[in-house]
Amino acid sequence: MYRRLDSPEGARFLALIREGKGLKPSARAAGVGKETAYRWLCETFLQLRVSGLGTEAAQERLGFSSSRVIEWEDRFQRDDGRHHFQVGAEVEAAFWASYQQGASLAKATQGAGVSRATGYRWLYNRYTLLRASNGPARVRKELRLLPGTAAAWEKRWKTELAVAKERLDQAHRAGIQDTRLFAARAAQTVSPAKARRDLAGTRYWDLVNAGSSNAEACRMLGMSRRAGTKLRNQRAEQSHIRVPVQGSGRYLSLLERIQIADLLRLDCSLRRIGRELGRCPSTIKRELDRHRDGHGRYSPHAANHSASQQRRRPRDRKLRRNRRLRAIVQRKLNRHWSPEQICGWLALQFPLEPGLQLSPETIYRALLFNDDGGLDKKYCPRLRTGRKIRRHRWRTGSGHGAVVRNMTMISQRPPAIETKTEAGHWEGDLIVGPGSTSAMVTLRERKTQYGIIINLPIDHTAARTNAAITTAFASLPPHLKQTLTWDQGVEMARHQELAAATGIQIYFAERSSPWQRGANENFNGLARQYFRKGTNLSKHTDKYVKSVCNELNTRPRKTLGYLTPAALFQAEKSTMPATSGYTRKQPAELPDSLERCVDP
Task: Give the Cα separation of 277 and 492 in Å (integer).
Answer: 49
Confidence of residue 309 (pLDDT cuts 50, 70, 90): confident
pLDDT of residue 521: 93
Element (DSSP H or E) covering residue 549: helix 542-553
In total, the chain counts a number of residues equal to: 600
Q: How far is CA 416 from the centre of its chain?
A: 38
SS3 assignment, position 567: helix
Q: What's the mean pLDDT in 285-291?
A: 91
Q: How many CB atoms lie within 10 A of CB 134?
A: 13
Is 4's pLDDT higher than 70? yes
Nearest to 519 by CA among 438, 425, 583, 586: 425
Cα 355 from chain centroid (whole Å): 25
Amino acid at 540: H
- The segment with the largest mean pLDDT, out of 26-40, 252-266, 337-351, 375-389, is 337-351
5/533: higher pLDDT: 533
CA neighbor of 489 nearest in space, from 415, 424, 549, 439: 439
**pLDDT confidence bin for 420, thresholds 50/70/90:** very high
**Which residues are 505's β-sheet partners?**
483
- Residue 222 clears pLDDT 70, i.e. is over it: yes
Query: pLDDT tens, 21-36?
Result: 788 888 887 778 888 8
Do 473 and 502 touch, CB atoms closer than 8 A?
A: yes
Of the candidates 241, 259, 271, 267, the one whose C-alpha atom is nearest the C-alpha of residue 301 is: 259
In the predicted model, what is the mean pLDDT of residues 45-57?
Answer: 85
Integer Cα distance of 157 and 151 in angstroms: 10
Q: For residue 423, is pLDDT > 60? A: yes
267: left (phi over 0), alpha (psi -120 to 50) or beta: left
Can you list the pairs that 151-158 forms with residues at least 24 positions away whose Cβ atoms lie under 8 Å? 153/124, 153/127, 156/124, 157/127, 157/128, 157/131
pLDDT digits (tens, 9 = 90+) for 444-480: 999 999 999 999 988 899 999 999 999 999 999 999 9
pTM: 0.39
pLDDT value of position 51: 82
Please tell me the distance from the alpha carbon of residue 153 to that of residue 159, in angstroms, as a whole number: 10
Pairwise CA distance, residues 54 & 35, whole Å: 24
Provide the residue ranges of all domains of the chain, joining segments of one domain with +: 8-78, 89-175, 254-310, 318-382, 410-580
Least confident range of 64-73, 204-213, 362-371, 445-454 = 362-371
Would you call 442 helix, strand, or coil by DSSP? Answer: strand
pLDDT at 119 over 80: yes
Q: Is the pLDDT of residue 193 over 80?
A: no
Sheet holding 451-456, edge to edge: 451-456, 439-445, 425-432, 483-486, 505-508
Predicted confidence band of residue 370 (pLDDT cuts 50, 70, 90): low
Q: Is residue 103 over pLDDT 60? A: yes
Q: Is 127 helix (H, G, I), strand (E, B) or coil?
A: helix
Instruction: Using alpha carbons, list the distances in angstroms from residue 310 to 35, 54, 155, 314, 396.
Output: 42, 44, 59, 10, 34
Average pLDDT over all residues of the chain: 82
Closest CA to 457 of 436, 439, 474: 439
Spatial contact of 257 and 287, defined as CB atoms under 8 Å apart: yes
Instruction: Tell me which residue of 449, 440, 427 sits closest to 514, measured CA to CA.
Output: 427
Which residues contact residue 100 at a Cβ distance below 8 angstroms, ignoring those fewer than 6 apart?
Answer: none
Where does 410-580 sit in CATH, by number?
3.30.420.10
Residues 6+ apart with CB under 8 A from 409: 507, 508, 510
Question: Are the CB atoms for 24 and 34 separated by under 8 Å?
Answer: yes
Q: What is the pLDDT of residue 1?
A: 59
